[in-house]
Structure 1
């Protein structure tokens, strides 16, 4: 684990400059060394100011997003594909301008519950667009990482096996996978084995409980997760993600089906998450040492 981070939605809905600056300050105060922002429209925020605050606080910024339906690059609609490609290209530039180091999320389809199966043409087109955007990201010094999400948030990439095939079809070695424990516990038969399958193509990792709340209060078996991360030598960022309608706006609450809140106060949640992740990581290292493994 390179840095431990937290999603800005723990702190703010992300609608204002002041909210994002507060999120940076809160993350630093709790000892997090990176933060995840949602897609930033450059015309609404002072990206230079956010970049300066990020550097001053020593909190690295990453950005994730999902495409809207009218910009779905897997849709087969030429207008939507062009609009989606333009949105992704704009996002790469925004991440660069804010001093970010990664762009992830549901970049390959709409962030939505589909009412149809994906098509071979849609898959192929999405892979081609992601390969092109991946090259732009590399030129900008940014890692492009594709989040695998559950069946209710995309119809294209739900499992590590699908993600690896998609990367092969992209043909761009700089594009990586973004795994999330919340989604994995829905879609993967064995989340720990899925992590091992991803191996060095795992570029980003989300820690989230099965009920989106306090870590350890759901159904996820954490010990195998942390053992697997050590087994593959994962040395990139690990970010805690949790949502509550007490913080995020109605649009995101609807998209992520936040029908009930598992927390309302974010400071104790953030403090607990950091302690939990660091404890589980340390325990996994001790197990590894006890078994005679470096």
Structure 2
């Protein structure tokens, strides 16, 4: 199990400083929200991508990929009924895959709840078909660049589309491509009826990435969610990929959140008798 953290927690800090901070705390991976780099990922040229990758490497941390893919953008929509919008959205996903690979990463996490709401007058089944069409258009670039796009189910309070791991897996199977997998997020899974360990047991075989957070939007260990059975389930099903801390409440400060989250996760592993 490898631990990463998402960079938007640090807000406007210089990228080089963020890399040093997360590495010093003990993380080995950094997950990036594109809007922290530029309004559009296509605004980040090859020279800057190389610089960011080098800064991370010099600090001893690996850029693992990108998330919040459509956040703070306009004109993109995963399941639009307008084919031109779906083509534009797929093109942007391809650009994101290129950027992730250029930065040294191999993951795209597709959350972005506002850019996937079901269009008015469209059924959920129709929305799934439209989303599958968009994702299928990007699969060639995903495969060429060695990047896996991970579909992130979100709670009903966040979106009306892909609200459960089962629905995310259904879309994944419709696309039917090895570079499109499922993403599991503790906060989102907290809204489902099965327990989080049960969801993990059902879906981990086709899960490409995992976000660690609490239902209260804070870091692991900062709420009521017990991560010991969650980590036990991950280990029992041989998950050896990234566990990335993603928080939405940035108080009290990035270093405290990052440090306490990592310490808690390592303690959970120790409690269940797993090596850290």
Normalised by the size of structure 2, how large is the TM-score? 0.86
Structure 1 residue 183, shift from structure 2 partner: 0.8
- Aligned Cα RMSD in Å? 2.5
Q: Name the residue aligned to 1:274.
A: 262
Q: Name the residue aligned to 1:251.
A: none
Assess if the C-alpha contact under 8 Å between 1:11 and 1:26 holds in 2. no
From 255, 263, 284, give the equivalent of 2:272. Answer: 284
Q: Name the residue aligned to 1:140.
A: 145
* Pairs within 5 Å for 1:72-87: 72-87=77-92
- Figure out how many residues of one structure are paired with residues of the other and give that number: 265
Assess if the C-alpha contact under 8 Å between 2:28 and 2:62 holds in 1. yes
- In structure 1, runs of 5+ residues without a counterpart are 247-262, 289-294
CA distance in 2, matches of 1:272, 1:217: 8
CA distance in 2, matches of 1:226, 1:220: 12
CA distance in 2, matches of 1:92, 1:24: 21
Shift of the 197–34 alpha-carbon distance from structure 1 to 2, 3 Å rule, reads: same
- In structure 2, runs of 5+ residues without a counterpart are none
Q: Does 1:65 align with 2:64?
A: no
Assess if the C-alpha contact under 8 Å between 2:153 and 2:168 holds in 1. yes
Structure 1 residue 196, shift from structure 2 partner: 0.7
CA distance in 2, matches of 1:123, 1:157: 9
From 41, 48, 51, give the equivalent of 2:50. Answer: 48
Normalised by the size of structure 1, how large is the TM-score? 0.81
Assess if the C-alpha contact under 8 Å between 1:71 and 1:82 holds in 2. no
Q: Name the residue aligned to 1:154.
A: 159
